[in-house]
Amino acid sequence: MSVGNDRQRQQQWGVSPPVSLSKPSAKDIAAAEVMKEVLADEAPEANDEERQLHRTVFELMSRLVSEWGREYAFSAGFEEADCHCQLMAIGSARLGLQDPSSDIDCVVVAGHKVTRDAFFNLFPVKLSEWNDISNLNPVPQAAVPVIKMKCMDVDVDVLFCGLAHPLDGPLLDPSDDNLLCDMDDKSARSINGVRVSDAIKACVPNFDHFLGALRMIRAWARRRGIYSNALGYLGGVSWAILVARVCQLFPNMGPSQLVVRFFRVYSRWNWDPSEGAVILCHSEQRSGDGFQHHKVWCPPPKRTTMDQPTVASASPMAVITPAYPSMNSTFGVTSMTMETLKRELERGASIISTKGVNLSSRASWESLIEPLHFFQFDQGGYKQFLQIEIGGASELSHKSAEGLVNSKLKPLLLRKMPEAVPEDHSKVPYRAWTGAMSIEDPCREYPYCSALFVGLSIPVGMDLRPAVREFMERLGIELATQMPEYKAGGMFDVRVRHVPSASLPDSVRSVTCKRKAADLPDDATNDDATKRVRLT
């Protein structure tokens, strides 16, 4: 190897030297264009009109946040600088990834006199005065408190970060770790949406190539039903970190090459968190007053096959955020969802990274992102399902209950299901469908009704009722605690039914991950023969 290459290799990205410094060939560049064409057809980006709408919504929200900060300072008798508020984009929006259905995730960064209670009690009042804003739903009790709403028909989630000091004008450097000094954990988690996105940008050698590869991986993960933090798969941050690490290992490669390497690398990866954590950069625990409560992720001790898992090693994989305090973004992955992820990575590798595959053919890329046929048994889908129905008296009560039930499906139900050897060894015993689908309420009691589904591949006669009963009991407590105003007024209901695939409504049986539930017609799911457990 030449001296020049030696020097380039020493200028590594990330925590290890690159695997290859190869650059795209003419064939690779042509393959990248074909991949881009397939994405434009199958998973298009937001067009100019949609991007302008998002900018307009963000600008309106930013103005309302600033106005509210000044109004709060005046009413509470504080200096304006102590209550200055600034809105910042987080997540995919901050990375520049927008599709036609993208929502807007953002965080309000506020000076030290603005409390979380004041923000969640008073800011929604200001928002409610605007006709462009609907479905206003503050959720202050969440692990990461959020105000959910629609603004000009765009879904918006607003988090809150309270600084421990005044915010004198715009926050110019959110990457400064000193911002987190004396900050509580909820605020730290909220501002880290900004800090992690910026750190990912700084960790990749070519941001445009990173975005091109990430768009394909996001489309693949969504089509294959593995894009969901709530259900124990991976969310947007985790997928972005995984792609960024491949960019570091192959710093000169183009988007199509990076996608191929993504599947080649991760289909063979040792996911043991003690040995195979995916890390973009080193992060150390900060010392000194004000930082002790921010804990940096550290690998669990190595286990032998005889050791029992500990709390620290409960997740079977570790994908670590690159901003202080580093955290495991895949903490919600379970052994069963991990098995699904591995199978999907292996499937992707068999399609796109095998010797002789023609990457200049649309067929290869289209095959990679072929949608999961979850409900079509004759196409490899499931034969039995749990159907979790959520009915609501109003759109807001329904959406609130639906969101809470979806967030509790994995911790309250899937973790309680009995161990089973799958009836079909090509499947895991239980797999949740990502997202709710609109249906007609079987009892016609509520004008708004949707359903979540869990596919079952279990032996005939296995009794799921104890797990379902415990789920309903614990869910009832959660709903009564977090939605007391709706629960007391009978504003919603939740039911669980065991449904064979033949009894699914036509509108559900035809669904794949390519079709969105919002685009589907309502359809009745009356089947008196199915078992039902009701939330009372």
Single residue among 140, 163, 197 that ends a domain in this structure? 197
Which residues have C-beta within 8 Å of that of residue 386, sequence separation ≥ 6? Answer: 413, 453, 454, 456, 464, 468, 496, 497, 498, 499
pLDDT value for 532: 38
243 shares its domain with 389: no
pLDDT value for 169: 74
What tens digit of pLDDT does each residue of 246-257 get? 999 999 999 999
pLDDT value for 217: 98
- Residue 440 to residue 524: CA distance in whole angstroms: 5
Q: Is residue 310 part of a domain?
A: no
Q: Is residue 291 part of a domain?
A: no
175 shares its domain with 54: yes
- Residue 162 to residue 282: CA distance in whole angstroms: 27
- Please give the tally of structural domains in the chain: 3
CATH label of the domain that carries residue 350: 1.10.1410.10
pLDDT value for 379: 83
What tens digit of pLDDT does each residue of 191-216 get? 999 999 999 999 999 999 999 999 99
**Span 382-395, mean pLDDT?**
91
Single residue among 197, 218, 236 that ends a domain in this structure? 197
In the structure encoding, which two tokens stand for residue 10, read together? 């020493």
In terms of residue numbers, what domain contains 103?
A: 48-197
Give the dihedral sign, CA 524/530/535/536: positive
Q: Is residue 307 part of a domain?
A: no
pTM for the model: 0.89
pLDDT value for 313: 46
Q: Is residue 247 part of a domain?
A: yes
230 shares its domain with 186: no
pLDDT value for 534: 38
Q: How many CB atoms are located within 10 Å of the residue 155 CB?
A: 15
Q: Is residue 435 part of a domain?
A: yes
| pLDDT band at residue 418 under the 50/70/90 scheme | confident
174 shares its domain with 78: yes
- Residue 197 to residue 239: CA distance in whole angstroms: 12
Name the least confident of 86-100, 271-285, 497-511, 514-528: 514-528
75 shares its domain with 123: yes
pLDDT at 318 over 50: yes
Q: List phi, psi (to 5°) of 357.
A: -65, 140
pLDDT value for 455: 92
Q: Is residue 429 part of a domain?
A: yes
Q: Which residue has the higher pLDDT, 217 or 425?
A: 217
CATH label of the domain that carries residue 135: 3.30.460.10
409 alpha-carbon distance from chain centroid: 15
Single residue among 368, 393, 415 that ends a domain in this structure? 368
530 shares its domain with 417: yes
pLDDT value for 530: 34
Q: Which residue has the higher pLDDT, 274 or 35?
A: 35
pLDDT value for 434: 86
CATH label of the domain that carries residue 487: 3.30.70.590
467 shares its domain with 513: yes
pLDDT value for 5: 47
What is the average pLDDT value for the chain, to the nearest integer? Answer: 87
14 shares its domain with 93: no
- Residue 475 to residue 492: CA distance in whole angstroms: 13
Q: Is residue 294 part of a domain?
A: no
pLDDT value for 512: 67
| pLDDT band at residue 8 under the 50/70/90 scheme | very low
- Looking at residue 407, its amino acid is S
What percent of the chain has pLDDT above 70? Answer: 90
CA distances from 436 to 376, 384, 409, 497 (A): 17, 17, 12, 15
| pLDDT band at residue 518 under the 50/70/90 scheme | very low
135 shares its domain with 159: yes
pLDDT at 287 over 90: no
What tens digit of pLDDT does each residue of 422-470 get? 877 778 899 999 888 888 756 568 888 999 999 999 888 889 999 999 9
412 shares its domain with 527: yes
Q: Is residue 202 part of a domain?
A: no
120 shares its domain with 244: no
**Span 6-23, mean pLDDT?**
78
pLDDT value for 4: 42
**Span 315-340, mean pLDDT?**
93
State which of 112-126, 132-146, 374-388, 471-485 shows the largest mean pLDDT: 112-126
351 shares its domain with 386: no
466 neighbors 477 (Cβ within 8 angstroms): no
